[in-house]
Structure 1
């Protein structure tokens, strides 16, 4: 497994993080959603980056700038992610900003994990799983979001060679980073330049011999990158 570029590696420790601002339950937030959902998607991104680096999370740090009332709601959102993949939520620590009351919500979720898979060369063709979504689309088109449960099963059974989350830079930019070919373009039925928000789509490298099983496993959200 080749470490993901958005992770910090300290020996066999992997640190990943994601944050959100102006998304939540405050009056001046740009996107109005429950705090629980905000934390769930931030945790989702950090978890996918752990998996991309071949790591499993063992601790969570919660950075809450939205006030004391949001703390437990953020914790529930974090718990939702680990419930989704069927494992016990790691211990949570962190802090809340209580001296200053901000007009908009702000939160960051950091995962600390232990690397389980050594870095190695991988082969196979690249595919996308999921649809690039951002803002309100994340809530209204949730069926098009790459499933953590489906991805977890695929990586545990060796169905995929590599996993690479797609963020705000879009599919093409992340594919270039994953392959190390900055001058190459990718063809796809998806918009490869738009933001994928909280990693609603991921890049997968799949061995040709495993492709038939992969197509059955991932379904219609799996698209080839050429």
Structure 2
């Protein structure tokens, strides 16, 4: 049986679930015809970060990343792979065993194009719909997009910080924010519990509708005890945490 949670497919096996997530991009890189110029290694880092974060947010253990590169190995392919390896190491995955894939062997390309598929396993189906009326939801990281995205920027959620967030039992659910923005993903999270998100008055509309690009922030739910633990984690990783609001039945 195959089911879906957000952008993650879950395949029921005999004793566990196999989870699959993916991401892709094109015309972003250092090649002649690329529309957005960024270092090629950045491409590999962003692709793998997005796909892996989807799994980690559901407390799925990543085990393998598959790169599907539409460029020649030298120089573009190897630079993308270097970026992927760098992200894998941040969550203690060994690239020698946790990375495979393919690239374009025959044609010299003039535009960057690449995809990544991440696979992981989980013993039980992810726990969803854990919200209740009055439950608080928060933001880790700040939404950024396009030229705002600097992977060294401590304002961005990253794999190590989200991985540690997922280990806190008081944190009930996590959802990465991408191009749809905070408001849309908060609705998804609340709807799992048949609730709606009520945002605090000091949270600006501009923040709520802004694209978060390559999962530059995540929304999470927790109680009053949990947020203290999260703030300690955020301080350790120098990540911003913002109280967004509460789940309600109606307003």
TM over 0.5: yes
Match of 1:216? 232
Q: What are the residue-to-residue correspondences of 1:12-31 with 2, within 5 Å?
A: 12-31=17-36
Q: What are the residue-to-residue correspondences of 1:65-84 with 2, within 5 Å?
A: 65-69=70-74, 70-84=76-90
- Note the alpha carbon deviations across 1:4-26, whole angstroms, 9 max, x for none: 41001111000000111111110
| RMSD, aligned α-carbons | 2.3
Q: What are the residue-to-residue correspondences of 1:41-56 with 2, within 5 Å?
A: 41-56=46-61
**Which structure has more strand as a fraction of its residues?**
2
Unaligned runs of 5+ in 2: 246-251
Residue 7 of structure 1 contacts residue 53 of structure 1 at CA under 8 Å; is this kept in 2?
A: no
Residue 190 of structure 2 contacts residue 196 of structure 2 at CA under 8 Å; is this kept in 1?
A: no
Match of 1:133 among 144, 149, 161: 144
Match of 1:205? 221
SS in 1 for 2:61: strand
Match of 2:104? 97
Match of 2:92? 86
Shift of 1:47: 0.7
Shift of 1:88: 2.2
Shift of 1:184: 5.2
Match of 1:161? 172
Alpha carbons of structure 1 residues 119 and 139: separation in structure 2 relative to 1, 3 Å: closer
TM-score (norm 2): 0.80
Q: Distance in 2 between matches of 1:63 and 1:79?
A: 14
Stretches (4+) displaced over 6 A:
none
Alpha carbons of structure 1 residues 65 and 215: separation in structure 2 relative to 1, 3 Å: same
Shift of 1:157: 3.6
Q: Distance in 2 between matches of 1:139 and 1:100?
A: 31
Q: What are the residue-to-residue correspondences of 1:178-197 with 2, within 5 Å?
A: 178-180=189-191, 186-187=199-200, 188-189=203-204, 191-197=207-213
Match of 1:10? 11
Shift of 1:218: 1.8
Match of 1:176 among 157, 168, 187: 187
Q: Distance in 1 between matches of 2:151 and 2:6?
A: 30
Unaligned runs of 5+ in 1: none
Alpha carbons of structure 1 residues 184 and 159: separation in structure 2 relative to 1, 3 Å: closer
Alpha carbons of structure 1 residues 140 and 157: separation in structure 2 relative to 1, 3 Å: closer
SS in 1 for 2:146: coil
Residue 21 of structure 1 contacts residue 104 of structure 1 at CA under 8 Å; is this kept in 2?
A: yes
TM-score (norm 1): 0.88
